[in-house]
């Protein structure tokens, strides 16, 4: 346990694959993150994406792996309460920072984030992992993430989906299946969602299925979030049948080996 993570938080994360950590980011760092997101919007990175279709309202922006050039991202990822929280949730002696991911939905955005889980997008394998999704704005349940509780334990992996139109990256292949119609199956599952305040973080496993609505109909509502992603002792490099995201360049000789790479620094070690 850490001051930010209780034993009940750990138990909930392991059973549901998701838990909310209240007030884990203090007001000073939160203000720095807000400035960092504005900088990121004004100066996108090389891997930035705009998921807003032409002639659509609002804006859905995403970017990642800018922590080395944007100081507030770096401080949050490496020097805040998050590494210790990640280690406790993952039950890992080593905590590596994988990358940050910024997602902004401006007011009036109609685009939804389709049901998916993050693991198949990435160039890694391993079950000790966690994303810490930090809200910079109040997010009511109506505009927030929805999680399918326990789906990280299904022993099923799903083909990634494009955020613009929800199409799959590929046909089902090599142990990855197409995401089922979760909306049609909601009555069969426990769906978890939260009212979120600035400074809260939603911690979820890379294999937990999740989705999010747009912000259309929510007057003057903006949804800015920064996810900090961490991996533990069992993380190894892996290939995917599609271009992984983020598109890190990989050494073929490193596949199957640990992430001993300066791009993924160790941020916490416990005995």
Place of tokens 């994360």: 13
Q: What is the DSSP string of 81-122?
A: SHHHHHHHHHT-SEEEEEEEEEEEE-TT--PPEEEE-SGGGS
pLDDT value at 46 more than 80: yes
pLDDT value at 127 more than 80: yes
The domain segmentation of the chain, as residue ranges, is: 7-262
Please name the fold of domain 7-262.
Answer: Jelly Rolls (2.60.120)
CB atoms within 10 A of CB 171: 10
Q: What is the pLDDT of residues 5-16, one digit of tens each?
A: 999 999 999 999
Q: What is the pLDDT of residues 167-202, one digit of tens each?
A: 999 998 889 999 999 999 999 999 999 999 999 999
pTM for the full predicted model: 0.95
Of 214, 204, 83, nearest to 139 by C-alpha is 214
pLDDT value at 141 more than 90: no
- Over range 100-116, report the average pLDDT: 89
Residue 178 DSSP one-character state: P
- Over range 127-132, report the average pLDDT: 99
Q: What is the pLDDT of residues 237-264, one digit of tens each?
A: 999 999 999 999 999 999 999 999 999 9
């Amino acid at each position: 346990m850490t001051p930010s993570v209780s034993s009940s938080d750990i138990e909930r994360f392991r059973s549901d694959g998701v838990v909310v950590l209240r007030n884990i980011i203090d007001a000073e760092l939160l203000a720095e993150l807000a400035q960092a997101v504005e900088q990121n919007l004004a100066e996108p990175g090389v891997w930035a994406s705009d998921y807003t279709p032409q002639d659509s309202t609002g804006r859905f922006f995403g970017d990642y792996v800018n922590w080395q050039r944007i100081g507030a991202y770096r401080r949050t990822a490496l020097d805040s309460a998050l590494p210790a929280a990640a280690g406790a949730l993952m039950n890992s002696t080593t905590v590596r920072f994988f990358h940050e991911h910024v997602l902004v939905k401006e007011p009036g955005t109609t685009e939804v984030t389709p049901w998916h889980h993050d693991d198949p997008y990435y160039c890694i394998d391993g079950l000790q992992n966690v994303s810490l999704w930090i809200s910079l704005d109040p997010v009511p349940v109506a505009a927030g993430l929805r999680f399918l509780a326990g789906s990280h334990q299904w022993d099923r992996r799903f083909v990634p989906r494009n955020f613009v139109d929800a199409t799959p990256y590929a046909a089902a292949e090599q142990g990855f299946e197409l995401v089922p119609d979760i909306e049609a199956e909601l009555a069969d599952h426990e769906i978890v969602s939260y009212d979120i305040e600035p400074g809260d973080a939603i911690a979820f496993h890379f294999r937990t299925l999740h989705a999010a609505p747009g912000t259309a109909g929510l007057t003057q509502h903006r949804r800015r979030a920064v996810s900090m992603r961490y991996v533990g002792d069992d993380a190894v490099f892996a290939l995917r049948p599609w271009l992984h995201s983020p598109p890190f360049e990989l050494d073929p000789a490193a596949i199957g080996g640990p992430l001993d790479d300066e791009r993924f620094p160790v941020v916490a070690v416990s005995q």
